[in-house]
C-alpha cells in the first residue's frame, strides 16, 4: 500500500494526481519550485517541499534534487505526471534505488519507449507498421535520410514529446536551419539534441489508444483522436476517434494491446498512431509511457479513474479491469486552454489571472490549477486548464462544448478560448474525421 505519495510535477496534472490520491486516503507531498510555492496544487497538497529556483532545469528537471526531496518527504512512491521527468529512466532508477515505487513503467520500458528510434524498432518487432525514416546525427545524415523519405519530411527529437524539437520541412534548402533549430529545442527541452527524420504523411489523422498493463496482461480503454494540432501541439482531443470503419478501429486497438504485452508493459500508457485519413491504414508512431494530458476524455467515456489505475498497478496489483468490463458511453471532447494569443501567432501570455469563471454542469469537467489571483509564470508551458465536455453522441458533445465555451471567462491573461469557439463552429470539425492539417485551414 502506498501511504505517502510524492508528486514530481506542477500545474493541473499535479492537482489531478493530488485529488485522486487524497480520495484514496494517501498523503500527498508536492515538490514545488520557487515560482509555484503559492500555486493551487501547493495549497491543496498535504505538504510541500521546495525543489529549487523557478527554471525547470534547477527544480522540476533536476533528477537528484527531486529524488532527494521525495526521500526527505518520507514518500513510499513518486508520481511523475507528464512531461518533466515522467519518461526519464535515470529518474525512475533513482526513485527505485532510494527504496520508493516509481508510478509508471519499469526503467527498461522507459528506455525502450523514451528513445523514439528504439521505439520504432520495438514496434517493428511487435509486428506494427512504422513510417519510413531514421536517425540523423548530423546534417549530412539528415540529407541522406531525406533521399529515403522525400519532401515534405519531419524532423523529430529522439527524446521528444509535446511537439518540441519537431519541425516540418517542405524544401531541401530549409533542411539545415530546421535541423539546427530542432536540435536546439530538443537540447533545451529534453537535454538530448539527437533528432531523426521521418516521411510526412500529408493527409494523416493522429489516433491513439489508451492501454493499461500489469507486466503480463494488457487491455485497452479505447481510442482518442488528437488530429487538431498546431505545430504538433495538440489543441483538441476527443474520444472515441470518430468515423473509422469498425474493422480498422478494432485492428488499431488490438495492435496497441499487442505492443503493450510484447514489452511486458506495466502501468498506463498511450500507443500513438498516424492514420491515413482516406485509406485508414495506420502506422505506429510512439508509445507515451505515462499519463497523457488528454486522459480525461477516456475517463469520461469509460468511467475509470486512470490515476487510480496507475496507483493500483504501481502497488503491484494485477489488472483489476477485464477487457469485457470496459464499456464506452457517449462522446467526450477536451479543449486545452492555453495562456496564448492565437491571433498573434500564439504569443505566450504569462501574467496574473484576475478573473477565472469556468463553465459548470453535469456534462462538464474542468481540470485547472488557475484561480483568481493565481499567476501563470513564464518558466513553464502555457496550459492553464482543460475543459472536458461530454454528450450522448459527437454532435451533442460539440453543441455542449460550444455552449460551455460561451460562458468561460478568464481575465488578466489572453487565452486560446476564442480559438476553440472557432473550432467548434467550423463545419469541417462538425463533419468529423479531420486530418492534422485542419488547423492551417481554420479561419480567424
Partner 1 sequence: MSGEPLLTAEDVAEIIAILDGTSYEHIDVQTKRVSVRIARSGDGWTQQWQHRASEAPAEAVVVAEVKPAGAQDVEGLVSLRPPLPGMFYRAPQPGAADFVAVGDVITADTIIGIIETMKVMNSVPAGVAGEIVEIIPQSGTMVDKNDILMRVRAAPQ
356 near partner 1 (CB under 8 A): yes
55 near partner 1 (CB under 8 A): yes
Interface with partner 1 in residues 148-187 (CB under 8 A): 162, 164, 180-181, 183-185, 187
Bridge-based pairing state of the strands 218-230 and 233-239? antiparallel
Cell numbers found for residue 340: 496564448
Residues 290, 336, 365, 394: which is the catalytic one? Answer: 290
Evaluate whether 410 touches 354 at the Cβ level (below 8 Å): no
Residues touching partner 1: how many (CB under 8 A)? 64
Residues 368-397, mask of contacts with partner 1 (x by CB under 8 A)? ---xxx----xxxxx---------------
Instruction: State the minimum distance, in angstroms, from the CB of residue 211 to partner 1.
Output: 25
H or E element in which residue 96 lies = helix 89-97
CA–CA gap between residue 251 and residue 255 (Å, rounded):
6
Instruction: State the minimum distance, in angstroms, from the CB of residue 113 to partner 1.
Output: 21
360 near partner 1 (CB under 8 A): yes
Choice between 185 and 214, CB closer to partner 1? 185
Interface with partner 1 in residues 4-43 (CB under 8 A): 19, 22-23, 25, 27, 32, 34, 37-38, 40, 42-43
Bridge-based pairing state of the strands 266-276 and 204-214? antiparallel
48 near partner 1 (CB under 8 A): yes
Q: Phi and psi for 363 in degrees, rounded to 5?
A: -95, 10
Bridge-based pairing state of the strands 101-102 and 77-79? parallel
Spell out where 18-76 has E strands: 27-33, 47-52
49 near partner 1 (CB under 8 A): yes
CA-closest candidate to residue 167, choices 152, 182, 184: 182
Evaluate whether 306 touches 291 at the Cβ level (below 8 Å): yes
Alpha carbons within 13 A on the beta-carbon side of 103: 28
Within 8 A by CB and 6+ apart from 406, the residues are 421
- DSSP codes, 247-311: HHHHHHHHHHHHHHHHTT-EEEEEEEEEEETTT--EEEEEEE-S--TTHHHHHHHH---HHHHHH
Residues 115-154, mask of contacts with partner 1 (x by CB under 8 A)? ----------------------------------------
Interface with partner 1 in residues 394-413 (CB under 8 A): 403-404, 406-409
Evaluate whether 136 touches 145 at the Cβ level (below 8 Å): yes
Instruction: State the minimum distance, in angstroms, from the CB of residue 193 to partner 1.
Output: 7
Instruction: State the minimum distance, in angstroms, from the CB of residue 286 to partner 1.
Output: 19
65 near partner 1 (CB under 8 A): no
73 near partner 1 (CB under 8 A): no
Residue 290 known to be catalytic:
yes
Instruction: State the minimum distance, in angstroms, from the CB of residue 381 to partner 1.
Output: 5
Instruction: State the minimum distance, in angstroms, from the CB of residue 147 to partner 1.
Output: 25
- Contact positions toward partner 1, by CB under 8 A? 19, 22-23, 25, 27, 32, 34, 37-38, 40, 42-50, 53-55, 162, 164, 180-181, 183-185, 187-189, 193, 339-340, 346-348, 350, 355-362, 364-366, 371-373, 378-382, 403-404, 406-409
Q: Which residues are catalytic?
A: 290
Amino acid at each position: 500500500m502506498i501511504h505517502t505519495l510524492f508528486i514530481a510535477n506542477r500545474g493541473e496534472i499535479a492537482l489531478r494526481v493530488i485529488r485522486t490520491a487524497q480520495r484514496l486516503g494517501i498523503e500527498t507531498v508536492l515538490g514545488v519550485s520557487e515560482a509555484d510555492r503559492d500555486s493551487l496544487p501547493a495549497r491543496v497538497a498535504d505538504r510541500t517541499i521546495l525543489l529549487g529556483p523557478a527554471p525547470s532545469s534547477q527544480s522540476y528537471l533536476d533528477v537528484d534534487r527531486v529524488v532527494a526531496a521525495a526521500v526527505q518527504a518520507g514518500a513510499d512512491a513518486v508520481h511523475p505526471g507528464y512531461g518533466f521527468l515522467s519518461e526519464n529512466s535515470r529518474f525512475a532508477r533513482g526513485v527505485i534505488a532510494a527504496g520508493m515505487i516509481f508510478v509508471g513503467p519499469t526503467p527498461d520500458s522507459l528506455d525502450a519507449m523514451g528513445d523514439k528510434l528504439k521505439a520504432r524498432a520495438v514496434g517493428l518487432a511487435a509486428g506494427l507498421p512504422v513510417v519510413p525514416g531514421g536517425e540523423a546525427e548530423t546534417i549530412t545524415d539528415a540529407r541522406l535520410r531525406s533521399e529515403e523519405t522525400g519532401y515534405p519530411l519531419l524532423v523529430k527529437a529522439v527524446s521528444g514529446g509535446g511537439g518540441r524539437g519537431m519541425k516540418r520541412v517542405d524544401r531541401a534548402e530549409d533542411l539545415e536551419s530546421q535541423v539546427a533549430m530542432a536540435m536546439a529545442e530538443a537540447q533545451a527541452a529534453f537535454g538530448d539534441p539527437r533528432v531523426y527524420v521521418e516521411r510526412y504523411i500529408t493527409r494523416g489523422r493522429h489516433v491513439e489508444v489508451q492501454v493499461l498493463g500489469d507486466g503480463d496482461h494488457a487491455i485497452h480503454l479505447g481510442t482518442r483522436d488528437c488530429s487538431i494540432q498546431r505545430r504538433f501541439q495538440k489543441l483538441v482531443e476527443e474520444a472515441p476517434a470518430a468515423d473509422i470503419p469498425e474493422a480498422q478501429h478494432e485492428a488499431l486497438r488490438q495492435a496497441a494491446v499487442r505492443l503493450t504485452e510484447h514489452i511486458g508493459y506495466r502501468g498506463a500508457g498511450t500507443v500513438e498512431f498516424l492514420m491515413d485519413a482516406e485509406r485508414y491504414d495506420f502506422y505506429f508512431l510512439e508509445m507515451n509511457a505515462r499519463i497523457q494530458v488528454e486522459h480525461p476524455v477516456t475517463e469520461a467515456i469509460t468511467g475509470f479513474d486512470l490515476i487510480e489505475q496507475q496507483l493500483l498497478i504501481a502497488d503491484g496489483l494485477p489488472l483489476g479491469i477485464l477487457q469485457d468490463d470496459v464499456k464506452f458511453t457517449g462522446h467526450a471532447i477536451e479543449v486545452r486552454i492555453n495562456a496564448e494569443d492565437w491571433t498573434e501567432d500564439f504569443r505566450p501570455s504569462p501574467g496574473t489571472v484576475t478573473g477565472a469563471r469556468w463553465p459548470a454542469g453535469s456534462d462538464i469537467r474542468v481540470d485547472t490549477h488557475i484561480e483568481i489571483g493565481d499567476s501563470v509564470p513564464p518558466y513553464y508551458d502555457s496550459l492553464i486548464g482543460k475543459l472536458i465536455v461530454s454528450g450522448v453522441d459527437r454532435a451533442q458533445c460539440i453543441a455542449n462544448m460550444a455552449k460551455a465555451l460561451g460562458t468561460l471567462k478568464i481575465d488578466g491573461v489572453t487565452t486560446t478560448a476564442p480559438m476553440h469557439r472557432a473550432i467548434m463552429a467550423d463545419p469541417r470539425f462538425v463533419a468529423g474525421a479531420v486530418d492534422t492539417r485542419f488547423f492551417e485551414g481554420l479561419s480567424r
